[in-house]
Amino acid sequence: MDETPARGAKHDTEKLLVFAFLIVCGLVFYLLNITHDDLWYDESCSAAVVKQPLGEIWKVVMGDRHPPLYFSMLKIFTLAAGASVFSLRLFSALGAVAILALGVFPVRRIFGFTTGFLFAFIAAFTPFVYSMAQEVRMYTWAAFFVTAAFLFGCLSVRENKTGDWVKFGLASLAAAYTHYYALVAVAGIHVFMLACTLLKKRPLAVRQLAVSLLVLLGYLPWVYALYAQMNEVMRGFWIGSVGWGSIVSTFLVPHGYQDTPLRVIFLILEASLLCCGLVLAFLRKRPGQMAALMAVSVYLLTFLCGIALSVLVRPVWVERYIFPVLGLYLLALAYAVSSFKARPVLIVACLSIACLSYPSISFIIMNRTKGPMREAVEYLKPRIGQDDVFIHANELTLGTFVYYVPGRAHFLYLPDSYPGNSDYSLIFRPDGAATGDLNRELEGKTGIWYVKFPPDRDGLAAELDAHGLRAVSAPAEFSVPQAWFRFLIVQAARKAG
C-alpha cells in the first residue's frame, strides 16, 4: 500500500476504482431500509421548515435556533426530489457519502492512499455516521464541511495553491452556517492554521489572515440572528444539566446507541489504535503527524468548549453535538491506524471495527426506534374529519402529527409561564401553531383530538378538565418495542357551559 502523499502524480486508475467502489457501496449501505422508521420531532421540524418559501427560510430557522444553510440546501433538494421520507433522508445520506469522498481527494493528497482508504472505510462503518445518514438533520453536512475546511486548510498551508485557499474559506463559511458547534470548530481550525503559518511559513500568514477575515465578513449577515438566538437560549432551553454521564456518553455515542459493553470495547479499541498509532508516527517522524494531532485537538477542544459553556453559562450540550467534528476524529484515527504499516495489522484493525459496528448498525436497520406514527395514522384514518382539530400537550407530538396528519389544525398548548423552545407558529405553519387560549381555537369545533406525551393515563382526565374538555372515547395508546416516543390519543368534546 502507498504510504506517501500523492504530490502531482497522475491519479492511479486502480486506486480510484477502489475508492469509487467503496463510495457506491457506502451509498447503498446508507439507503438500506432508510424509510422503515418514522420521522421523530427534530426531523419533522426539518420537514416543516422546507415547506416554507425559500426566501423565508432564514427568517423561519431563526425561530428554530439553528443556522440556515442546511435548510436552504434541503429546500432546493426537495424542489427536485420531493419531500417524502425517502427524499428527506436521502439528502442526509448524500452528506455521509460526501464525508467518505473526502478520502479520495484531500485526505489522499495529504496522507496518501492508505490513510484515505482507511478514513472512508472507518467512516462507513461508524454506527454514529450510519445513524445520522438516516436522519433528516444537518449533522452529516456539518461534519462534511468541518472536515473539508480542515483538510483544505492543511493543503493551503502546505502547498499554497489558490484553489485550496478558496475551498478552505468556502468550506469554513458553509460549516459556520450549518451548525453552531461547526462554527466553534472552524474558529479553532483557523486559529491552528494561523499558528502554523506564523511558526513555520510566516509569508503565508497574511494570506491566512485574509481568508479568515473574508470568512468573518461572510458570516456578518447572520451575527444579529445568532445574538438573538443566544438571548432566547439564555431565557430558557430544553437541554438539562451536563454531568459526568453526559461526558462519558459523548465519547461512547459514536460507537453505538445501545447501552451495552460492546460499545465500551469499541471505544477502547479505537482509543488504543489512535494513541499507539500517533506515538508511532512521532517516533518515526512520519509526514502528517502534526496535522493528525491538530485534527484530534480540534475535536477535543470543540467538545470541551461545549462542556465549559454548559457549566459556566447554561446547558447547551447533548451527545449528538459532537457529530460536526466527528470527521476530524475519524481522520486522526485513520492516520494512526495507517502508521502500523504492516498489512495484516491494517486488515485486522478494519475487520475489528467492522465486526464491532455490526450489532449497532444492524439494530438501526432492523428496529424502529423513533415512534409509532404509522400506527397512529392507521387508527385515525377512518375516524377523523377534514375539519377536526388536534390539541397537543407536548411539542414532540405537534411536529410529527403536522407531518403525518396534514391538512388539519394542530395546536400546542403553551401556558403563559412557558414560552417553548421554538417559534412553532412560524415553523409549522399553516397547519401547526402554539396557543395559550384553547377556548378561542376550539370555538365552534366538534371534532377534537387530544394527544398526550408521555402517555400517562392517570393524569389524562385532569388535563382534559383543565382545558374544559371531556373524553368521548377510550384513550388509544401507541408504542413500538424499541422506541422511547410513545403517546396516547383520545377523542374529546368541550364541556357544556
Do 426 and 336 reside in the same domain of the chain? no
Same domain, 329 and 286: yes
Among 318, 349, 366, give the residue marking a domain's end.
366
Main-chain phi, psi angles of 372, to 5 degrees = -105, 40
> Where is the domain boundary, 325, 341, 366?
366
Per-residue pLDDT at 497: 60
Statement to judge: residues 173 and 39 lie in one domain: yes
- Rounded Cα gap, residues 434 and 411, in angstroms: 5
Q: Does residue 1 fall inside a structural domain?
A: no
Domain shared by 347 and 479, yes or no: no
- pLDDT tens-digit series, residues 105-124: 999 999 999 999 999 999 99
In a domain, 3, yes or no: no
pLDDT value for 3: 43
Closest CA to 129 of 363, 361, 365: 361
Report pLDDT for 46: 97
In a domain, 43, yes or no: yes
- Of 332, 366, 400, the position where a domain reaches its end is 366
Same domain, 79 and 105: yes
Whether residue 472 lies inside any domain: the answer is: yes
pLDDT of residue 4: 46
180, 222: one domain: yes
Q: Cα dist. 108→57, 155, 237, 296 in Å?
A: 37, 11, 42, 18
Q: Are residues 286 and 429 in the same domain?
A: no
Are 361 and 380 found together in one domain? no
Q: Is residue 7 part of a domain?
A: no
Overall number of domains in the chain: 2
Q: Which domain holds residue 22?
A: 13-366
Whether 30 is covered by a domain: the verdict is yes
Q: Is residue 377 part of a domain?
A: yes
Residues 316 and 464 reside in one and the same domain? no
Same domain flag for 342 and 422: no
For the four alpha carbons of 180, 185, 189 and 192, in that order, the dihedral sign comes to positive
- The pLDDT of residue 16: 86
Residue 436 and residue 360 share a domain: no
In a domain, 6, yes or no: no
Please tell me the predicted confidence (pLDDT) of residue 445. Answer: 86
Q: Is 494 exposed, middle or buried (0-12, 13-18, 19+ CB in 10 A)?
A: middle
What is the predicted pLDDT for the residue at 45?
A: 96
Q: Are 91 and 178 in contact, with CB atoms under 8 Å apart?
A: no
Residues 377 and 361 in one domain: no
Task: Give the cell for residue 222.
Answer: 447572520
pLDDT by position in tens, the chain (length 497): 334 444 444 557 888 888 889 999 999 999 999 999 999 999 999 999 999 999 999 999 988 889 999 999 999 999 999 999 999 999 999 999 999 999 999 999 999 999 999 999 999 999 999 999 999 999 999 999 999 999 999 999 999 999 999 999 999 999 999 999 999 999 999 999 999 999 989 999 999 999 999 999 999 999 999 999 999 888 878 888 999 999 999 999 999 877 778 999 999 999 999 999 999 999 999 999 999 999 999 999 999 999 999 999 999 999 999 999 999 999 999 999 999 989 999 999 999 999 999 999 999 999 999 999 999 999 999 999 999 999 999 999 999 999 999 999 999 999 877 778 889 999 999 999 999 999 899 988 889 999 999 998 888 999 999 999 999 999 999 999 989 999 999 999 998 76
Predicted pLDDT of residue 376: 97
